[in-house]
Chain A
Amino acid sequence: MSDDLAPWVPRLRRYARALAGNRDDADDLVQDTLERAWSRAGLWRNVVDMRAWLFAIMHNLHVDALRRGRLAVVAFDEDAADAVAPPPQAARAAMLDLQGALDRLAPEQREVLLLVALEDMAYADIARTLGIPLGTVMSRLSRGRERLRLLLDGTPSAPGGDAVRLKVVK
């Protein structure tokens, strides 16, 4: 790694923008991430996957910010949210746009979904970045995607589908 984190900045900004929902909070998050990365520059030579390492820093800072209440969050109960009924047919015209729907995901589902969608990150790398088991990555991805589908398309998930539901181990 050279003396420059600039090559990572556009991708960190893209992810932060999607995570924070607005430019100011997102760029603050990126700046904090860069500063923390530099403050730990001594560790870089041990870092195998720089992307996972940087995104992990951002993840931790983001979680801290959420905990402090600095970023606006919709109070969230993962199970309750999954139980949301599909909107009635008549309401579909007023379906949420993508950003609005994203904002309504649980932060932990949003993170997984965005690392997959924006970064094309392998599931195992996501597990490492977020410090969670692979099974949790899959369950968050599954819940996040189904909820997004419900919010955007109004179609409920298909619990009677043929795919074998994995037992979720948290």
Chain B
Amino acid sequence: MTSAAPPPPSPPAGIPVTEAELHAYADRQLTPERAAEVAAWLAHRPDEAARVRAWEDHKRELRALFDPVLDEVVPPALQRASRRPAPWSGRPALAAAAALLLVLAAGGGGWALRGAHDAPQLAAAPRASDFAARAAIAHTVYAPEVKRPVEVDGAHEEQLVTWLSRRLGAPMRAPHLQSLGYALEGGRLLPGERGPVAQFMYRDEAGHRLTLYVSNEKTAAAPTAGPGLANADLRPNGDGRADTAFRFASEGPVNVFWWVDGPFRYAITAPADRAALTQVAAEVYRQLAAPQP
């Protein structure tokens, strides 16, 4: 496709014109003197001149296509984001998560104070409540999402369950909570304290979201020897597995119900009262304890 440009009768510029200079010419980024030389050079080379003209045309067309965005009304969310944020007033979810962290930090301070008098009890307990806190933060971050509350939606439940089972190294199930008014919206994989965590998201008719947060200690990156796992909270059951009774925690705007069953930890989080959460937790526990279909 070599274009046989007619040889220029008399080269007007002594210095050869580079490809970069042609672009700079099209973009008006040359000095006026050099621009004049390039213009004279182009006058004898119709093929090159056509290329440069096409670049200029496309540039104009791009402006015509996207300049109307400049005149669009800026959406409220962007107006807000363009103003200096007050402390902790970013996106609502992040603000809530931040508030939650503050509450937890304050709680941790409480532990530390108490620990001064009561050291032995302190050893592991805060560690276990970290799990509830993480579940609550995960809930607070994702539940307000409008567009992307989940990575895989409930319509693809089988895919979701297969994926999360593979990543958590154990068969997962998404409990069915329709009888309690919650429909499965989907789920996502999250980084937990030491490995993958599954989050299933449900939604009731009023649009309130409930999340089930599940970790498998067996897929944790590090062994749980030493002070890692909150053994103070755990008691071995008949099978030698550790499990716990249901635990309840109020984490700012949401409540969390959590428990340990063998290597698995579960947390249910929602902006619902304790009685409602107890019901959900009991149902989830019942379904998960039932033999696999």
Residue B1, interface by CB 8 Å: yes
Assess A149 versus B55: contact at CB under 8 Å? Given A98-B61, A141-B23, A158-B3. Answer: yes
Chain B interface secondary structure, helix, strand, loop or mixed?
Answer: helix
What string of 1s and 0s marks CB contacts (under 8 Å) between A148-159 and chain B?
Answer: 110011011111
What string of 1s and 0s marks CB contacts (under 8 Å) between A100-133 and chain B?
Answer: 0010000000000110111010110000000000
CB distance from B206 to the nearest CB of A (A): 25
State the total of A-B contacts with C-beta under 8 angstroms: 140
- Whether A31 contacts B78 by the Cβ 8 Å rule is yes
Residue A82, interface by CB 8 Å: no
**A residues near B23, Cβ cutoff 8 Å:** 138, 141-142, 145
- Whether A31 contacts B90 by the Cβ 8 Å rule is no
Stretch from A59-67, A88-96, A161-169 contacting the other chain: A161-169
Assess A17 versus B58: contact at CB under 8 Å? Given A10-B74, A164-B17. Answer: no
- Whether A13 contacts B78 by the Cβ 8 Å rule is yes
What is the CA–CA distance of A57 and B65 in the complex, to the nearest angstrom? Answer: 24
Assess A160 versus B84: contact at CB under 8 Å? Given A14-B66, A145-B58. Answer: no
CB distance from B50 to the nearest CB of A (A): 8
Which of chain A's residues has its CB closest to B69's CB?
Answer: A14
**A residues near B292, Cβ cutoff 8 Å:** none
- Whether A161 contacts B48 by the Cβ 8 Å rule is yes
**A residues near B3, Cβ cutoff 8 Å:** 158, 160-161
- Whether B47 contacts A17 by the Cβ 8 Å rule is no
What is the CA–CA distance of A13 and B71 in the complex, to the nearest angstrom? Answer: 10
CB distance from A56 to the nearest CB of B (A): 18
**B residues near A31, Cβ cutoff 8 Å:** 77-78, 81
Pick the contact of B58: A9, A41, A117, A142 (CB < 8 A): A117
What string of 1s and 0s marks CB contacts (under 8 Å) between A39-50 and chain B?
Answer: 001000000000
Residue B16, interface by CB 8 Å: yes
- Whether B85 contacts A38 by the Cβ 8 Å rule is yes
- Whether B1 contacts A11 by the Cβ 8 Å rule is no
Assess A118 versus B27: contact at CB under 8 Å? Given A158-B47, A161-B45, A165-B19. Answer: no
Residue A58, interface by CB 8 Å: no
What is the CA–CA distance of A11 and B71 in the complex, to the nearest angstrom? Answer: 10
Residue B59, interface by CB 8 Å: yes
Interface size on A, residues (CB 8 A): 53
**A residues near B18, Cβ cutoff 8 Å:** 163-166
Residue B147, interface by CB 8 Å: yes
Interface size on B, residues (CB 8 A): 48
What is the CA–CA distance of A13 and B50 in the complex, to the nearest angstrom? Answer: 32
**A residues near B21, Cβ cutoff 8 Å:** 163
**A residues near B27, Cβ cutoff 8 Å:** 116, 120, 123
What is the CA–CA distance of A102 and B45 in the complex, to the nearest angstrom? Answer: 28
- Whether A17 contacts B69 by the Cβ 8 Å rule is yes
- Whether A6 contacts B83 by the Cβ 8 Å rule is yes
CB distance from B12 to the nearest CB of A (A): 13
What is the CA–CA distance of A89 and B196 in the complex, to the nearest angstrom? Answer: 54
- Whether A30 contacts B78 by the Cβ 8 Å rule is yes
User: With contacts A4-B83, A35-B85, A38-B84 known, what are 15 further pairs, Cβ within 8 A?
Assistant: A5-B83, A6-B83, A9-B82, A10-B71, A27-B75, A116-B27, A120-B27, A155-B50, A156-B1, A158-B1, A158-B2, A162-B5, A162-B17, A163-B18, A166-B19
16 pairs across A/B with beta carbons < 8 Å?
A: A10-B74, A14-B69, A17-B66, A31-B77, A116-B59, A120-B27, A123-B29, A145-B23, A149-B54, A152-B58, A161-B5, A161-B45, A161-B48, A164-B16, A165-B19, A166-B19
* Interface positions of B (Cβ within 8 A of A): 1-5, 16-24, 27, 29, 45, 47-48, 50-51, 54-55, 58-59, 61-63, 65-67, 69-72, 74-75, 77-79, 81-85, 90-91, 147
